[in-house]
């Protein structure tokens, strides 16, 4: 049985966390009743200075400056901070480990490192974010992770059997005799959580957090469980590509925004967005790695055996490259095998789909009995793509290249398990580096012919792919724009707040991007404003995210790679707003149809949308869907709908039932599986304010959209 497996199946109640937080503390760990309630008049600096148990950490912070500013003084001003505060006992344990007896023996560099490593310049409460890597670096520019495990009253991990039901998981709380232990970077236990202060939150921890300095290849090289994979990695030379971390050429320039003061309010034709730009541009990576035990099941005992297996997997799909023996050649079978295991961005377990935690509210916007929540990403193997699914029911968990719905075949009769990713609480170690993260997987993954004979391209990817606009660039993922927390001093919680206020108090906080620094996208800064809105629950955006393009734009995006065949390209978008634009679509620079006016709603005569209820019979609905598709339109999906309120809870109604949530059929292109294809979107209005809301694209193979035997489903 997987250790702590049930943690990732329970939906924790915020009320329960608040009520039972203090039950987590043992007598030895109890920080004192003076910490249980904090005055709203207290800033983070007051919280530290007013409590004796933080006196040593307070002295360390007081000795630290950033530029001309003292960090303790910064924590006493308006802003947004998360402070992980080690107790005096924790500091003394740290000193002892270094052979020191007093904090006076710490150098200035020591104080700077400790202080910056324990502070994030944004507030994160455990009720909003209780598993995975925080979406913002700490002040040392290093990642911090939080891992939650369930323990009994003696601190021992608790196991729970898998459910046998495919019904939707219901929200539940942990029984009162079970508790939650929360760790930062797998080493420092939170012994008091979520002390709210005027400018953020303070978490009390029982150990000093050590700074991370290892690159992702360093971590892989020291993990004996993945030694075969790492040896093969060194043969391919790919480890040299995994040494990058920061783009030294990137600058914000005059667009630098200080969120503690007035922020840039960007005006569209009828809306206002609060926009800032990422301070740094990072290069990061995610690896999915089979352990040696997995390889042993296939008779693979070393890198040489793995190279032989890679030939069996990839030579049938790429016979023209079968004789390439140079492992460093990207066409070599072992090189393909290893590079397919890497994504060109960092993604922890809860960031790979929009199931964003064990208590994900956004997941409730889906009909999960009919549709497995899934996302697709381009990998570091040239012209390849990887699917991530998070089904509900008895097979709940995160999978790679899975196909089906819950524990059954999908509507076209396809079922393939794929490889399951080990949840962070089950790995038993810290797998996060300064430039990425890796995950264990329980079976072999590939973009070729699997050892069991399954052709992944033909079987798993012969389906409709729904790809959110916020996933189309590694820069969206590395910056946290995908599902990002709001970048301001406002404590909006996990999801954003839609706000049409035209002042600097606007809470619709967005992350902007500059031309030349967005992989897969090309646009002109002088004509185009380009930002990703925060994830919301109640607006008509698929998965809550939305890429917004404003101005007299001309944007080209490289499409995700797809297997050989004919593919129909569609864009899902929300129409019916007077700030929308008139756009011309191009595929590979060939214009597709006439310009699309995004301002009328679907029921306008220009589009001619009709509801299923008005159409009546199943035959009439099917006939209209066919005729509508022939006119280059499709209704929205039936599997997703916005929440009834910004607090979430249930789907208000499927997008299929709304006349403002439509799929525009752009055109068809042919893929040979080895060539890039591009979508170009050009604004035709003479306006600096009108927009294109780039929400989601669909890539649908001809075996689905033109299948004479099985019609494309409405989900």
Least confident among 251-260, 263-272, 414-423, 597-606: 251-260
- Check whether 241 has a pLDDT greater than 60: yes
* Predicted local confidence at residue 497, as pLDDT: 63
pLDDT digits (tens, 9 = 90+) for 508-520: 678 889 999 999 9
Could you tell me which CATH number the domain at 464-705 has? 2.60.120.260
Q: Which long-range contacts (CB under 8 A, 24 or more apart) does 123-126 make?
A: 123/80, 123/81, 123/82, 123/199, 123/200, 123/201, 123/491, 124/82, 124/201, 124/485, 125/193, 125/194, 125/196, 125/201, 126/17, 126/182, 126/190, 126/193, 126/194, 126/203
Q: What are phi and psi of 665, to 5 degrees?
A: -80, 115
The better pLDDT of the pair 28, 619 is held by 619
Tell me the three state secondary structure of residue 540.
coil
pTM, entire model: 0.86
Region 624-653: mean pLDDT is: 92
Indicate whether 382 pLDDT > 60.
yes
Q: Is it the case that residue 178 has pLDDT exceeding 80?
A: no
Q: What is the mean pLDDT of residues 455-471?
A: 97
Q: List all residues 6 or more positions away from 507 whose beta carbon is below 8 Å from its beta carbon.
A: 274, 486, 488, 490, 492, 496, 497, 499, 501
72, 66 Cβ separation under 8 angstroms: no
What pLDDT does residue 39 have?
Answer: 44
Grade residue 534 by pLDDT with cuts at 50, 70 and 90. confident
Q: Which residue has the higher pLDDT, 542 or 79?
A: 542
Cα–Cα distance for residue pair 501/507, rounded to 1 Å:
8
Statement: residue 499 has pLDDT above 80: no
Say how far apart CA 476 and CA 453 lie, in whole Å.
Answer: 35
C-alpha dihedral (621, 626, 630, 632), degrees to nearest 10: 60
Considering the segment(s) 5-205 as one domain, its CATH architecture is Roll (2.30)
Give the per-residue pLDDT at 274: 77
Secondary structure of 394-461 in HEC code, one letter for each residue? HHCCCEECCECECCECCCCCCCECCEEECCHHHHCCCCEECCEEEEEECCCCCCCECCCCCEHHHHCC
Query: Which pLDDT does position 172 carry in this prediction?
Result: 36
Does the structure show a pLDDT above 70 at 480?
Answer: yes
Mean pLDDT of 88-105: 95
Percent of the chain with pLDDT over 90: 67
Average pLDDT score over residue span 556-574: 97
**pLDDT confidence of 15, banded at 50, 70, 90?**
very low
Residue of 90 and 429 predicted with greater confidence: 90
Query: Which tops the pLDDT comparison, 38 or 218?
Result: 218
Q: Does residue 332 register a pLDDT over 80?
A: yes
The mean pLDDT of 282-303, rounded to a whole number, is: 97
Provide, rounded to the nearest whole percent, the portion of the chain with pLDDT above 70: 85
Residue 38 has pLDDT above 60, yes or no: no
The mean pLDDT of 151-178, rounded to a whole number, is 54
Region of residue 32 (left: phi > 0; alpha: psi -120 to 50; beta: else): left
Q: For residue 504, what pLDDT is reported? A: 60
279 or 345, which is more confident = 345
Contact 202/44 with Cβ under 8 angstroms?
A: yes
Find, among 557, 520, 522, the residue nearest to 678 by Cα.
557
Tell me how far apart the alpha carbons of residues 266 and 510 are, in angstroms, rounded to a whole number: 10
How many Cβ atoms are within 10 Å of 681's Cβ, its own excluded? 21
d(C-alpha 59, C-alpha 106), whole Å:
11
Q: What's the pLDDT score for residue 280?
A: 86
pLDDT at 673 over 70: yes
Compute the average pLDDT of residues 168-184: 57
Which of 99-108, 252-261, 634-643 shows the lowest mean pLDDT across its residues?
252-261
CA separation for the pair 244, 230 (Å, rounded): 18
* Domain definitions of the chain by residue range: 5-205, 214-245+282-460, 464-705
Least confident of 12-21, 176-185, 433-442, 477-486: 12-21
CA 184/CA 492 separation, integer angstroms: 23
Q: How far apart are CA 427 and CA 67, in angstroms?
A: 39
- Judge whether residue 151 has pLDDT over 80: no
pLDDT value at position 268?
A: 66
Q: What is the CATH number of domain 214-245+282-460?
A: 2.30.180.10
DSSP state at residue 255? G
Residue 369 has pLDDT above 80, yes or no: yes
Going edge to edge, which strands form the sheet with 419-420?
Answer: 373-378, 385-390, 399-400, 419-420
Which pLDDT score, from 0 to 100, does residue 269 have?
62
CB 356 within 8 A of CB 494: yes
Question: Under a CB-based contact definition with an 8 Å cutoff, are residues 483 and 546 in contact?
Answer: no
**pLDDT reading at 535 higher than 90:** no
CA distance 446 to 385: 10
At 384-426, the pLDDT tens digits run 999 999 999 999 999 999 999 999 999 999 999 999 999 887 8
Task: Specify the pLDDT at position 500.
Answer: 67
Hey, which residues does 148 pair with through a beta bridge?
Answer: 182
The reply to whether domains 214-245+282-460 and 464-705 share a CATH topology is: no
- Angle 182-186-187 (CA atoms, 0-180°, nearest 5)? 95
Tell me the average pLDDT of the chain: 86
Mean pLDDT of 587-615: 94
Please, which pLDDT band fits residue 157 given cuts at 50, 70 and 90? Answer: low
Least trusted range by pLDDT, from 294-303, 499-508, 532-541: 499-508
- Residue among 632, 622, 631 at smallest CA distance from 712: 622
How do strand 432-433 and strand 596-597 relate by DSSP bridges?
Answer: unpaired
- For the cut 70, the answer to whether the pLDDT of residue 205 exceeds it is yes
């Amino acid at each position: 049985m997987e250790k702590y497996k049930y943690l990732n199946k329970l939906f924790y109640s915020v009320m329960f966390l608040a009520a039972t937080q203090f039950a987590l503390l043992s007598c030895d760990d109890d920080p004192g009743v003076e910490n249980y309630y904090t005055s709203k008049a207290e800033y983070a600096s007051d919280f530290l200075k007013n409590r004796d148990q933080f006196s040593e950490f307070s002295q360390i912070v007081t000795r630290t400056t950033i530029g001309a500013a003292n960090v303790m003084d910064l924590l006493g001003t308006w802003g947004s901070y998360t402070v992980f505060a080690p107790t005096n006992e924790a500091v003394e344990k740290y000193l002892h480990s270094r052979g020191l007896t007093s904090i006076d023996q710490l150098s200035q560099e020591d104080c700077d490192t400790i202080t910056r490593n324990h502070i994030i310049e944004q507030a994160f409460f455990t009720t909003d974010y209780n598993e995975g890597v925080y979406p913002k670096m700490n002040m040392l520019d290093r990642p911090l992770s939080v891992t939650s495990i369930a323990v009994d009253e003696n601190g021992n991990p608790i196991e729970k059997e898998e459910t046998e039901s495919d019904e939707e998981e219901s929200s539940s709380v942990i029984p009162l005799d079970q508790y939650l232990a929360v760790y930062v970077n797998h080493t420092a236990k939170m012994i008091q959580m979520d002390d709210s202060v005027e400018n953020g939150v303070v978490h009390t921890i029982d150990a000093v957090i050590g700074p991370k300095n290892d690159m992702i290849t360093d971590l892989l090289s020291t993990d004996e469980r993945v030694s075969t994979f790492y040896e093969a990695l060194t043969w391919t030379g790919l480890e040299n590509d995994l040494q990058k971390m920061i783009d030294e050429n990137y600058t914000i320039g005059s667009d630098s925004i200080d969120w503690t003061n007035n922020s840039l309010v960007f005006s569209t034709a009828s809306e206002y967005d609060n926009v800032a730009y990422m301070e740094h541009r990072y290069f990061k990576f995610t690896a999915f790695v089979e352990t040696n035990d997995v390889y042993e099941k296939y008779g693979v005992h070393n890198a040489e055996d793995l190279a032989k297996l890679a030939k069996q997997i990839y030579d049938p799909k790429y016979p023209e490259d079968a004789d390439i023996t140079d492992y460093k050649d990207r066409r070599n079978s072992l090189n393909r095998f290893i590079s397919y295991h890497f994504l060109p961005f960092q993604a922890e377990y809860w960031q790979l789909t929009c199931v964003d935690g064990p208590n994900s509210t956004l997941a409730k916007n889906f009909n999960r009995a009919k549709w497995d929540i899934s996302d697709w990403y381009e990998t570091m193997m040239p012209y390849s793509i990887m699917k991530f699914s998070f089904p509900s029911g008895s097979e709940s968990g995160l999978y790679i290249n899975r196909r089906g719905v819950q524990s059954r075949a999908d509507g076209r009769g396809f079922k393939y398990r794929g490889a399951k990713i080990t949840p962070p609480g089950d790995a038993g170690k810290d797998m996060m580096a300064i430039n990425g993260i890796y995950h264990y997987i329980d079976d072999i993954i590939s973009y070729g012919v699997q050892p069991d004979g399954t052709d992944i391209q033909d079987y798993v990817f012969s389906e409709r792919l729904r790809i959110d606009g916020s996933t189309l660039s590694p820069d969206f993922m590395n910056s946290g724009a995908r599902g990002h927390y709001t970048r301001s001093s406002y404590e909006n919680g996990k999801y954003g707040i839609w706000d049409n206020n035209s002042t600097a108090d606007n809470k619709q906080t967005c992350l902007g991007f500059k031309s030349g620094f967005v992989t897969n996208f090309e646009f002109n800064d002088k004509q185009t404003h380009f930002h990703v809105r925060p994830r919301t629950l109640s607006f008509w955006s698929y998965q809550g995210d939305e890429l917004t393009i404003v101005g007299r734009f001309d944007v080209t995006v490289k499409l995700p790679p797809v297997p050989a065949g004919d593919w129909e390209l569609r864009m899902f978008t929300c129409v019916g707003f007077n700030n929308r634009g008139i756009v011309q679509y191009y595929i590979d620079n060939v214009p597709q149809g006439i310009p699309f006016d995004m301002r009328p709603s679907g029921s306008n005569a220009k589009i001619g949308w009709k509801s299923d209820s008005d159409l009546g019979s199943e035959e009439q609905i099917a006939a209209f869907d066919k005729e509508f598709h022939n006119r280059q339109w499709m209704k929205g999906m039936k599997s997703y709908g916005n929440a009834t309120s910004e607090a979430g809870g249930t789907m208000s109604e499927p997008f299929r039932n709304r006349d403002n949530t439509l799929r525009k059929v752009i055109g068809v292109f042919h893929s040979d599986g080895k060539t890039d294809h591009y979508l170009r979107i050009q604004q035709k209005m003479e306006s600096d304010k009108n927009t294109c809301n780039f929400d989601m694209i669909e890539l649908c193979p001809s075996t689905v959209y033109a299948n004479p035997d099985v019609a494309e489903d409405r989900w």
